Amino acid sequence: MKISFGMAISVAGAFATSAQAASLDPTFGSAGITSTAFGSYGAAARIVIQPDGRMVSAGQDATGDFTLARYTSSGQLDTSFNGTGKVTTTPSGSCPGQAHALALQADGKIVVAGTSCPNFNSTRNFTIYRYNTDGSLDSTFGSSGKATINFYAGASEAYAVAVQGNSIWVAGYAGSSFALARLTSTGTLDYSFGSGSGSVTSAVGTGSAVANSLVIQADGKPVLAGYASSTGTVFALTRYTTTGALDTTFGTGGKVLTHVGGTFSGNASIATSLAVQGDGNLVAAGYANSTSNGHYQLAAVRYTSTGALDSSFGLGSGKVLTPIGNSDAIGNDVAIDVNGGIIIGGYASTGSYRQLTLNRYDASGNQDDSFGPVVTAVASTNAAVQGLAIQSDGKIVVAGYGNSPTAFVIARYQ
């Protein structure tokens, strides 16, 4: 196989052939999958696993409500959560809400972040809800369980949330820039961050930029990943100090831009998710094309703690692209397993429909053929993994959408 742009390209078939390939866990849901309807449409954006093995997923319905579902460890709706296992919250305002991100506090409270138009105008703001362990809104957070953040830079949407001690970090975009805010445990802006404002925005690249993911390093520094315009569309990362200044020890002035597939006309690469390894290296995942007008492929890029491409990954390039199926292969979330393996979830097509897709790379970025890729159909309709989490026993839980009508789909693989 020809290697282009100094980048490892992993060729994979639509289905794994090894007897050791990951497969649906028959002890979960119905033959490994459970589906939860929220009216005519429901799509789960992310999933977290509680210490007791129960799992919480959050997303939205057709009318823009924030929707949550909690499941038992066997994949059944947990009726101790709001009596039904499901919660629907309608944001006030003039536009539909969108729930994009989810985090679990140490005390079990659930934080969901996204966007709404709280001031009854067309300007979207960061919107954050916090729920108690029984599914009720936490009245001690923000205003009756809800906090909103206006960056005064045009529309803003939150795509990522993280909890660190008593702080809640929320990231996305504001106007055409990366945006990051830190909240206190009560849902108010933390004015010790961002030069007294509680928030920061950063122009990245040469045009619009969106942060899709957020991690907090062990030293407390937040790192954002997403995409920006820069002779095409590139993976974009920023790192900040704990007080909100761009960290000049990372990349160039705190910013890193990466053409994943090359610099040809029409190149495009989008980082949708970010994970930090135990050694401090960062793995950004998403999708990119490697030829003009070519299909998107799963993409993984590893950076050192200083923001340099990691030469020990992807045959020395720091980058890996993997085509799966007969059309676009899109990576939506990434996690690091106990052995240092990198697992990416998203969707690919092996026929007429998008299907749940998982792929695994070893610590050097090599395709793990003993795992997959795994492509799972959900009825005769489009389906996708949008979030994933790894249980303490190594089983992988994914959340997304599928079925007809479209519903939350949760699946577990072993």
Digit-coded pLDDT (tens) for 71-97: 999 999 999 999 999 999 999 888 999
Mean pLDDT value across residues 358-374:
97
Which range among 22-26, 153-157, 317-321 shows the weakest confidence by mean pLDDT?
153-157
Q: In one letter, which amino acid is 129?
A: Y
pLDDT at 370 over 60: yes
Q: Which residues, in sequence order, are CB contacts of 254 under 8 Å at separation 6+?
A: 202, 238, 239, 240, 245, 246, 247, 248
- Please list, residue by residue across 351-386, b when 16 or more beta carbons sit within 10 angstroms of its beta carbon and e when fewer do: eeebbbbbbbbebebebbbebbbbbbebeebbbbbb
On whether the CB atoms of residues 258 and 238 are closer than 8 A, the answer is no
What is the C-alpha to C-alpha distance for residues 41 and 13, in angstroms, rounded to an integer? Answer: 31
State how far the Cα of 153 lies from the Cα of 176, in Å rounded to an integer.
8
Q: Domain locations in the chain?
A: 49-341
Residue 119: predicted pLDDT: 72
SS (H, E, C) the chain: CCCCCCCEECCCCCCCCCCCCCCECCCCCECCEEEECCCCCEEEEEEEECCCCCEEEEEEECCCCEEEEEECCCCCECCCCCCCCEEEECCCCCCCCEEEEEEECCCCCEEEEEEECCCCCCCCEEEEEEECCCCCECCCCCECCEEEECCCCCCEEEEEEEEECCEEEEEEEECCEEEEEEECCCCCECCCCCCCCCEEEECCCCCCEEEEEEEECCCCCEEEEEEEECCCEEEEEEEECCCCCECCCCCECCEEEECCCCCCCCCEEEEEEEEECCCCCEEEEEEECCCCCCCCEEEEEEECCCCCECCCCCCCCCEEEECCCCCCCEEEEEEECCCCCEEEEEEEECCCCEEEEEEEECCCCCECCCCCCEEECCCCCCCEEEEEEECCCCCEEEEEEECCCCEEEEEEEC
Q: Report the pLDDT value the prediction gives residue 52, as an integer from 0 to 100.
A: 97
Kindly report the backbone phi and psi dihedral angles of residue 155, in degrees, each rounded to the nearest multiple of 5, phi listed first: -65, 145
Q: Is the separation of the CB atoms in 345 and 331 below 8 Å?
A: yes
CA distance 5 to 224: 25
Q: Which CATH architecture fits 49-341? A: 7 Propeller (2.130)
Q: What is the pLDDT of residue 6?
A: 40
* Angstrom distance (rounded) from CA 117 to CA 148: 9
Query: Cα dihedral angle (216, 219, 225, 228), rounded to 10 degrees?
Result: 140
Which positions ≥6 away from 260 have C-beta within 8 Å? Answer: 7, 234, 235, 269, 288, 299, 301, 319, 321
Residues 5-35: pLDDT tens digits?
Answer: 345 555 443 333 333 689 999 999 999 999 9
Tens-digit pLDDT profile for residues 375-388? 999 999 999 999 99
Q: Which two tokens stand for residue 316?
A: 């020395």
pLDDT in tens, 102-147: 999 999 999 999 999 987 667 999 999 999 999 999 999 999 999 9
Model confidence band, residue 304 (pLDDT cutoffs 50, 70, 90): very high
